[in-house]
Amino acid sequence: MAVTHTEVYRKFKGGIARHPLRFFPLFATELSVATRRKLPLILLYGPVAIATIVTCFIVYAKFALQAGVPDSSNLQAQLAVGMASSMLQVRDLILQVNGIMGGFALLAMVWYGSGLICEDRRAKAHLLYFSRPLTRLDYFLGKFCVAAFFGAIAVVVPNFVVCTMAVVTSPEWSFLKEQSDVIWAVFLFGGIWITTMSSLVLAISSLAPKRVFAMVGFFGLIMVLEVFIELGVKVGNVEQLQYLRLTRNLGVVGEWLFTAPGADAPEDVTQCALGVAAWVALSLTVLAQRLRRMELAS
Amino acid sequence: MGALAMVELEVPRRDGAVAGGREPTEPVVLFEGIVKRFGRVRALDGLTADVPPGPVGLLGPNGAGKTTLIKVLLGLLNTEAGSARIAGLDPSRRADKIALRRMVGYMPESDCLIPGRTGIELVATLGRITGLAKADAMTRAHEVLDYVGLEDQRYRPLDQYSTGMKQRLKLAQALVHDPEFLLLDEPTNGLDPKGRRHMLELVHDLGHEQGKNLVLCSHLLPDVEKTCSHVVVIHRGKTAAAGVIAEMTGDEAHSVDVQVRGSGPDFESALAADAIPHAENGLGRYRLNLPADQASADRVFGLAENARCTVVSIEPVRSSLEEVFLAALREGEASA
């Protein structure tokens, strides 16, 4: 008789919990695997980090100039105050940095998010997940949090660091007292941006057979849409088509969120917000369908 | 490393009971008129079957509907008609589905492993997803990887695993939460003889020594015969045969093999005089068309004594599972 297997099976004496955050282990492991390779992290987040440091320095310089010269009758002090006031407001700085760094943020999110679902499907790993007490919502949340995490590092964290610098360096906490709405705007805009982009990246990932196709698909979709919308607006004179421009819509919504209280909001912010909501709804619908298929028709 | 022990592969008892003394009782899995179509193809065509506790083989040719049935049981496929129950839980109901997945370990047929992770990471993560605490999941991952013989490869990335290692890893992930039920879909697929033997030993151990209720899906009859005491034969989405393997193969014992020492022609004449149909197999061996019971044995001994021969052996002739399987398929085709 065969006597080759020599290990003993051990019974598990612990318990199986029914905790509500079932998605968390999936999120944690995906994150750990994604961050294993350091080069993409450095390449994608290096420019964002540099931009954040530069912006922080500008904010520091602005408030240092204001705070460092108490005697405003002095000519030098007047010059310094004049320079400081002529520098951009923190809210405008953040908007500008967002505009410049948006591409990197998008690239980072697409890089880390595009393989999240399609690679599972390709390897049929979803069979292992869905044969466990994991619902489609748990699976979605696990994947969404990964994409959102990488988006947050590129969008929310730098802006929050800039705000923190402004709070700390502003004389007598003036930034916190007078412009605290900027901090809320940072989180709100970050939330909208991350939700929109993560949903879209995951939706395209759920449709693509491979990660590289998902990446090409995402940028292809944005670019092709831009061309068609431009044609529609210029040639067909259909102005409403521009509300399908995702990046523009997000820009307008961001501009509105960072608008100083009392100042005029962009005219078409409602349409742009609806445009963003439509994209999110479309992405989530696609995801719901695809995940259902992954679980039930696998 | 786990403690050393010797686990011996043994043949299931002929009465269908398993080594742990567990006798077949109420079915733990029930299928009632399951219909599942993929387009025009009826993968499951009103399948009805009861699966008793213990190791059970789900046997059928490729495309018979075995994997589909397993997926129905896990709630991974919706059915057009019929119902399935596992330990009283209905996989088509959302709440039951989650509950039953806590007590089932599933080893899929396909690879299912994402490159870039290590074996220990994958097993521990799946343990955590099932509901184990972080420390428990890691401990269990080490234990089950030891058990399946992957203790030295646990930190290797999955893309460096051989087919045999992948199969064992899939078994390990199915065992990480120590489930009551195991659904093993073609566990010996793609394995070399040594790997296959090892896998069958593991499956045998789980079913017979560890008391797991396991369903082994396979189209390989020897695999089922070696590891299971019960079998459900599926053909074209229907149950073609089901029962205790020993009983099914013993049903055909209407003949006995007899070996005698002495005058062969005299023994043959005695058989002919007693009108017993027989065939000579050479070297004093005869196959007699007699039921395998005590009366037949007495009759044979009497005839041998009259022919001045000595009976060396007398054994009932049992059909192999392959014969039962082929007969079931033939019957299925005839009824279709």
The structure tokens listed for A111 are 């890089």
Q: Is the pLDDT of residue B276 over 60?
A: yes
Q: Note whether A116 contacts B: Cβ–Cβ < 8 A.
A: no
pLDDT at B5 over 60: no
Confidence check: pLDDT of A69 > 70: no
Distance CA B188, CA B222 (A): 11
For an interface test with B, give the residue of A6, A122, A140 to mutate (most B CBs within 10 A).
Answer: A6
Q: Percent of chain B, pLDDT > 90?
A: 42
**Residues of A with Cβ-Cβ distance to B99 under 8 angstroms:** 133
Tell me phi and psi for residue B131, to 5 degrees. 125, 5
B41 touches chain A (CB under 8 A): no
Q: CB distance B6–A297 less than 8 Å?
A: no
Please give, one letter per residue, the 3-state secondary structure of A119-147.
HHHHHCCHHHHHCCCCCHHHHHHHHHHHH
Identify all chain B residues contacting A137, using CB atoms and an 8 Å cutoff: none
The answer to whether residue B2 scores a pLDDT higher than 60 is no
Residue type, B305: E
Using a 10 angstrom Cβ sphere, with 0-12 exposed, 13-18 middle and 19 or more buried, the burial of residue B228 is buried
Domains in chain B: ranges and CATH: 3-247 (3.40.50.300), 251-318 (3.30.70.100)
CA-to-CA separations, A215 to A143, A144, A203, A220, A253, in angstroms, rounded: 16, 16, 12, 8, 25
Chain-centre distance for alpha carbon A206: 19
**Mean pLDDT, rounded, for A32-41:** 90
B239-248 pLDDT, tens digit per residue, is: 888 888 877 7
State residue B16's pLDDT score: 42
Q: Please say if the pLDDT value at position B308 is more than 70.
A: yes
Residues 219-258 of B with CB under 8 A from A: none
Q: How far apart are CA A169 and CA A65, in angstroms?
A: 10
Q: Residue B131's beta-bridge partner residues?
A: none
Q: How do residues B24-43 score in pLDDT, each as one tens digit?
A: 467 889 999 999 998 888 88
* Sign of torsion over alpha carbons A179, A181, A182, A183: positive
Highest-confidence range of A256-265, B189-198, B324-333, by mean pLDDT? B189-198
Across A65-69, A76-80, A263-267, B82-86, least confident range: A76-80
The whole-number pLDDT of residue B11 equals: 37
With 70 as the cut, is the pLDDT of residue A76 above it? no
Phi and psi torsions of B244, nearest 5°:
-75, 130
Averaged pLDDT of chain B: 84
Exposure string of A19-40, with b = 16+ CB inside 10 Å and e = fewer, is eeebbbbbbbbbbebbeeeeee
Q: What residues of chain B lie within 8 A of the CB of A19, using their CB?
A: 131
pLDDT class of B9 with cuts at 50, 70, 90: very low
Is the ipTM, as predicted for this complex, more than 0.85? no
Pairwise CB contact (< 8 Å): B110 & A4: no
Best mutation target among B70, B71, B79, B112 (most A Cβ atoms within 10 Å) is: B112
Full-model pTM: 0.81
Mean pLDDT over A276-294 rounds to 96
